[in-house]
Every structure is written in structure tokens, then in C-alpha cells.
């Protein structure tokens, strides 16, 4: 039987927010605790340099994302937590796969088109090859399952494709084709100011999102100012119709309080949003404060986080070095 393996990662760009937590991190922790999978959680710092970035902040951002993983419940005793740049085999495999990745397919990648914008001629090769590096991240561990959001499915498809191309070209069963892991009750978190757009790190106003680094006062302020409508709190799903902000706040409440939406309807349906928001603030602070505190502790003395990252990197190197050797051997490279 093949060992089931999870590999996922996030970029150390800006501070993580509630969408990253409810939409991804919380599920990673569930997968880890479920015990069926070996879990590898990566901070994809090599991907972070495909867009303009701040060299002086990269190290801190990498530690901060790792701290968020741990504070959310990723346990370095159970999962392997590591920075992508600490494992050279990711970049090595990327080159090998790049020789098999078709330009036609890369041209169709919607994320590249979005990120390159109008000026695609000036985009870096790294941004263009981003999906190939992501494929290498996954295939180098022979991960069987990759928890990703909708926006990453196209990239995962390329990883599957490259695994199959390699196996066919060299007539081997070397790479496993990874499956997307569709996270059961993943919560899609929307902006606090516009219930029709996703909560995002790139939104200009910080008031649109709750960051995992926000303190209790700031969380309270953002929830108080969150957009609602003049009607009372909905009593059933049908009343969400045309009210995306109401739906979003109640969805966040249910996820953070670990209650069903029916519980939330029963508790708050028909009340004013002002009252609902008071409870929402309490629940949000109660759930997020321990996470923020743990993150701050880890960031105030980076010895522990650095040790965890270094150990994670070593574990990965022990797995990936022989695997890259095998891969190159299959491809016919010289080796003494
Ligand atoms: P990103 O912040 O776009 O790099 O995404 C990192 C991870 O968080 C991915 O798995 C996304 O699917 C997830 N994610 C980002 N924003 C949200 C959101 N607003 N709601 C739910 N999941 C999200
Ligand atoms: N591209 C992913 C994102 O933006 C991040 C990522 C890089 C990733 N390598 C990965 C996700 C490997 C899953 C598996 O969210």
C-alpha cells in the first residue's frame, strides 16, 4: 500500500489572515491529527521572490508564516514543517521538469496572466515557471494528496501532467500523480467590507481582513466596522439571498465557534446585527487570541522556530537527496 502523503504550502508574502486560517491551515491541522497521512507543510519562500519583494523582510516573513502554522496547531512532532529554500532538491527537480513542461500549457495558466498583468513581456521567467516549481514541491515527495483551493487546481493539474509525462517518457513508475484534496467543510472567507470578494492579503484596506497578528482591540474594531445591512440577522439560509455580508459574518461565527449554521440561526436570527457583532467579537477573540499569543511568543525569541525549520529542512533533505539522485539516474546523467 502506498503511504498517503500530504504536501502543501503558503507563500511568505504578507501576514496571514482569517481566510488562510479557516480556508487552509485549520484543515491542515485536521489532516495531521487524523493520522492517515504523513504531512509536509512548506513555507514556499522561493515562490515569494517571483514578485517584487523586500529582501530585508523575507526571513522574518518566512518565520512568521511558520509561526502561524505552529500557532494554528501544526505540530512539528507530527508534521514536517520547513522552508522550501532549505531543500535544494525542489529547485533541482524544477529544472528537470522544466524541460518537459510545455510552453503552451504554461501560457494558459490564469495565475500567471493575473500576476503578469498587461506587461507580460516584462514578467520574469520565475513567475512564468512558478507552476513548474510548485509541481517539483509536490512530486519530490511523491505526495499523494495536495490540499489546495480552487485557484490552485490548474497548477496541480500541471503537476499531474508532468508526473505522467516523465513516467511515460522514461518508461518508469517513478512519480505518483497527486490528487487534489478537497477540504470537506472549507470556509470561504469574504472581505469584511464586501461580501462578494474574497478576504485577501492583497486588498488595499486592512479593514477588509482580520490578520492572525491582530490584537483583540483591532479585531473588535474591524468587526464593529464590518459591513452589514439594515435588516435583522437572517433566520434561515433563504434569507441569505442578496445579503452576502450577513452570510459571511455568520459563516465566520459558525466556523470560529465550531457551531452549525442552524445553531447560529437559532441563537441570533431576528436580532440586530449590533448584538450579533458583540458575540462575534467575543468568539473571534477567544478563538484567535491564543493563536496570536503563540505567534508573538515564537517571533519574540526566534530560537525555537529556527530550530524547528532547520530540523524540518534536514528531514526533507534526507528524503529528497536520494530521490533526486534516482531521478537523474533514470534520466541518464553521469554520476561517479
Ligand atoms: P494565498 O493567501 O492566496 O496565498 O492562499 C494561501 C491559502 O489560503 C490557499 O490554500 C487559499 O486557498 C487559502 N485562502 C486564501 N484566502 C482565502 C479566503 N478568503 N477564504 C478561504 N481560503 C483562503
Ligand atoms: N501556489 C500556492 C498558493 O499560492 C503555494 C504553493 C507552492 C503550493 N507550492 C505548493 C501549494 C505546493 C500546495 C503545494 O497558494
pTM of structure? 0.95
How many alpha carbons lie under 13 Å from residue 244 in its C-beta half-sphere? 12
201 flagged as catalytic: yes
Catalytic residue selected from 4, 78, 201, 267: 201
Beta bridge partners of 43: 10, 83
Cα 152 to ligand 1 centre (Å) = 10
Instruction: State how far the Cα of 111 lies from the Cα of 304, in Å rounded to an integer.
Output: 35
Instruction: State how far the Cα of 189 lies from the Cα of 69, in Å rounded to an integer.
Output: 18
Q: What is the pLDDT of residue 186?
A: 64
Q: What is the dihedral of CA 10, 186, 225, 193, to 10 degrees?
A: 80
Low-confidence ranges of the chain (pLDDT < 50): none
Q: What is the pLDDT of residue 33?
A: 97
The cell for 198 is: 474574497
CATH classification of 206-297, choosing from 1.10.287.130, 3.40.605.10, 3.30.1490.70, 1.10.240.10? 1.10.240.10
Within 10 angstroms of residue 293's Cβ, the number of other Cβ atoms is: 12
CATH says 5-182+301-330 is which class?
Answer: alpha beta
The cell for 205 is: 484596506
Instruction: State how far the Cα of 308 lies from the Cα of 297, in Å rounded to an integer.
Output: 14
Q: What is the pLDDT of residue 150?
A: 83
At 98-116, the pLDDT tens digits run 999 999 999 999 999 999 9
Name the closest-CA residue to atom 11, ligand 1. Answer: 149
Q: Are 279 and 253 in contact (CB under 8 A)?
A: yes
Instruction: State how far the Cα of 65 lies from the Cα of 63, in Å rounded to an integer.
Output: 6
Name the closest-CA residue to atom 16, ligand 1. Answer: 19
Instruction: State how far the Cα of 38 lies from the Cα of 34, in Å rounded to an integer.
Output: 10
Q: Which of 18, 138, 147, 149 to mutate to test the pocket of ligand 1 (most atoms within 8 A of CB)?
A: 149
At 17-26, the pLDDT tens digits run 999 999 999 9
Q: What is the pLDDT of residue 184?
A: 61
Q: Domain ranges in the chain?
A: 5-182+301-330, 206-297
Amino acid at each position: 500500500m502506498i503511504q498517503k502523503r500530504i504536501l502543501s504550502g503558503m507563500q511568505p508574502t504578507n501576514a496571514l489572515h482569517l481566510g488562510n486560517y479557516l480556508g487552509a491551515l485549520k484543515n491542515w491541522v485536521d489532516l495531521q491529527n487524523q493520522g492517515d497521512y504523513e504531512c509536509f507543510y512548506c513555507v514556499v519562500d522561493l515562490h515569494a521572490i517571483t514578485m517584487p519583494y523586500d529582501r530585508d523582510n523575507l526571513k522574518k516573513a518566512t518565520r512568521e508564516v511558520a509561526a502561524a502554522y505552529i500557532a494554528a496547531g501544526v505540530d512539528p512532532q507530527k508534521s514536517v514543517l520547513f522552508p522550501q529554500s532549505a531543500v535544494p532538491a525542489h529547485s533541482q527537480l524544477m529544472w528537470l521538469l522544466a524541460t518537459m513542461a510545455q510552453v503552451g500549457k504554461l501560457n494558459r495558466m490564469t495565475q500567471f496572466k493575473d500576476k503578469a498583468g498587461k506587461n507580460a513581456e516584462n514578467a520574469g521567467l520565475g513567475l512564468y515557471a512558478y507552476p513548474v516549481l510548485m509541481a517539483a514541491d509536490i512530486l519530490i515527495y511523491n505526495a499523494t494528496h495536495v490540499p489546495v483551493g480552487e485557484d490552485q487546481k490548474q497548477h496541480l493539474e500541471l503537476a499531474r501532467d508532468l508526473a505522467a509525462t516523465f513516467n511515460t517518457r522514461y518508461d518508469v513508475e517513478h512519480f505518483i500523480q497527486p490528487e487534489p484534496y478537497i477540504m470537506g467543510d472549507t470556509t470561504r472567507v469574504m472581505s469584511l467590507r464586501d461580501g462578494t470578494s474574497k478576504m485577501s492579503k492583497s486588498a488595499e484596506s486592512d479593514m477588509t481582513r482580520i490578520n492572525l497578528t491582530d490584537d483583540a482591540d483591532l479585531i473588535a474594531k474591524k468587526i464593529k466596522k464590518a459591513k452589514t445591512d439594515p435588516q435583522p440577522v437572517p433566520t434561515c439560509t433563504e434569507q441569505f439571498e442578496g445579503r452576502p455580508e450577513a452570510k459571511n459574518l455568520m459563516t465566520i461565527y459558525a466556523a470560529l465557534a465550531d457551531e452549525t449554521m442552524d445553531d447560529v440561526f437559532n441563537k441570533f436570527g431576528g436580532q440586530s446585527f449590533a448584538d450579533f457583532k458583540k458575540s462575534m467579537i467575543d468568539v473571534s477573540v477567544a478563538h484567535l487570541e491564543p493563536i496570536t499569543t503563540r505567534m508573538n511568543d515564537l517571533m519574540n525569541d526566534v530560537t525555537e522556530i529556527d530550530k524547528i525549520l532547520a530540523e524540518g529542512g534536514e528531514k526533507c533533505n534526507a528524503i529528497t537527496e536520494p530521490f533526486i539522485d534516482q531521478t537523474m539516474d533514470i534520466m541518464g546523467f553521469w554520476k561517479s
